[in-house]
Structure 1
């Protein structure tokens, strides 16, 4: 059985990629060369046991690359006024390195101030001072974070690591470099026109003038409806508990655009209140300013009496 790819063949040049890994290596090399003696060589892998370096060499081995989830956060894409597009999104990448020093085999034992110790000391100083080197960030064109760690935190077992290389353990230094990697931008992304004027969104609100108007409206409602409910001892209590608010439309502060009436009413009170609210022409002159406002009765709830079986009366 054979399978054919459903993807169309690629044509033209490959999509551009962010070369941040290459630039991190170059930035590390430039920094180390400022501290390490000039006769020391550098390479970015581990030497084979059968082919050790013929000269003193510092090896920087990039053994792990992963997304730094600890630094993941919501970062808005920056708007570029030049082309009217947003800058590419970024993902923080953590690069884990192991640094070792190699030199031709010597019959003499290593000393406290031997060359291997001196070289690794300069390497440690270079890495710890990397954040002070402004040229590094200028070269990378983005922020960089470096942390010296124990190699065993990223390698399953340091002893097994050296055993797999067929060599005896030696002094090593582990560190991580975290840098943002720029993501690709869709080909069909179109320019976005700039915002030339900023302002707050208009939202309905109640000003002191509208709050006073709402109280006047509630008193007018009670005065108009209560006489028709004479003989109902709870009518006044129900009407006095109604919540009335006047809101503007967000553009004109003291001009009412909506009247909201909410509360619990029995069937008789509910019928009388909704009937009065539905006839603005009968409203008194005290609330004349509200005649053109929209009346919202969604908050009014009718409480119907229950039958003997617990069902509400129709």
Structure 2
């Protein structure tokens, strides 16, 4: 999933923000050693934090129906993960870096989600939006200064991009045949698995 998000971001930035023939788009850690080796205009999109978005987690299993409206399978809902990127521009002059950052900002302001044409692999197969949030305040338990300190580099202007990407756990359970007699009630245990409750016959209910 991470590589697919990287490639989708590279395609979006190359199409709407920078000239890929003149500006490199990389995903390296912007350490002092890396900065010393850089010799061309560069946009760096460093993935520095990965967290699940618990507010979007779906509990239990989701039914899959055939053309007759009969449940044929059950599967887990997608899990959503927040991928935080530190975006920096690297050139010989601060003014050029600011121009690049401005172009990147407007690019992500124009797009609430990654365009579907840029999605590949499992992200394209899931068919769900991949949301983009740019320049939001950092969480209370993290600051950008802390990120730069961990990298051992000097603080410089940057944009914080948060990508909310869905992931399919792949767990699917076949459903049993539809009941033809009596009434069956399905319950869910704490793990989300379907458990059969005792069956009650309609004749018994009418007595």
TM superposition score normalised by structure 1: 0.46
**Contact 1:56 1:102 (8 Å CA) reproduced:** yes
1:89 maps onto 2:70 in alignment: no
Q: Give 2:86's aligned residue.
A: 98
Report whether the alignment pairs 1:41 with 2:24. yes
Please state if 1:192 is matched with 2:175: yes
Could you tell me which residue of structure 2 aligns to residue 147 of structure 1? 133
Task: Provide the C-alpha distance between the structure 1 equivalents of 2:120 and 2:34, rounded to a whole number of angstroms.
Answer: 37
More strand by share: 2
Residue 64 of structure 2: aligned partner: 79
Matches of 1:169 and 1:162 in 2, distance apart?
Answer: 6
Residues 177, 194 of structure 1: CA spacing in aligned structure 2 closer, same or farther, 3 A cutoff? farther
Work out whether 1:57 is the aligned partner of 2:45: no
1:4 equivalent in structure 2: none
Instruction: Show structure 2 runs of 5+ residues with no match.
Output: 184-200
State the 1:193 CA deviation: 5.9
Pairing of 1:1-314 with structure 2 (within 5 A):
20-35=1-16, 36-38=18-20, 39-52=22-35, 53-74=38-59, 76-79=61-64, 81=66, 84-103=72-91, 105=92, 110=94, 114-130=95-111, 131=113, 133-136=115-118, 140-141=123-124, 142-150=128-136, 152-153=138-139, 156-185=142-171, 189=173, 191-192=174-175
| Deviation of the 1:81 alpha carbon | 4.5
| Distance change in 2, residues 1:51/1:94 (3 Å) | closer
Kindly provide the CA deviation profile for residues 280-302 of structure 1, in whole angstroms up to 9, marking residues without a partner as x.
xxxxxxxxxxxxxx5xxxxxxxx
**Counterpart Cα distance in 2 of 1:143 and 1:49:** 36
What SS does the aligned partner of 2:19 have? Answer: coil
Q: Cα distance, 1:128 vs. partner?
A: 2.3
Query: Across the two proteins, how many residue pairs are aligned to each other?
Result: 173
Which digits, 9 at most, give the CA deviation of each residue in 1:66-103, with x for residues without a partner? 11012223475352659x54455321111111111112
3-state SS, counterpart of residue 32 of structure 2: coil
Distance in 2 (alpha carbons) for counterparts of 1:178 and 1:80: 28
Higher RCO (C-alpha under 8 Å, 6+ residues apart): 2
Separation in 1, partners of 2:100, 2:140 = 23
CA offsets per residue over residues 96-154 of structure 1, 9 Å max, x none? Answer: 11111112x45xxx3xxx32112111211222233273424577322212212346437
The question of whether the paired residues in 1 share the 8 Å contact of 2:53 and 2:81 is answered with yes
**When the two structures are superposed, what TM-score results if normalisation uses the length of structure 2?**
0.67
CA distance in 2, matches of 1:102, 1:154: 28
- Deviating above 4 A after TM superposition, structure 1's stretches of 4 or more consecutive aligned residues are none
Q: In the superposition, relative to structure 1, how do residues 145 and 118 fare at CA in structure 2: closer, same or farther (>3 Å)?
A: same
- CA RMSD, aligned part only? 3.4
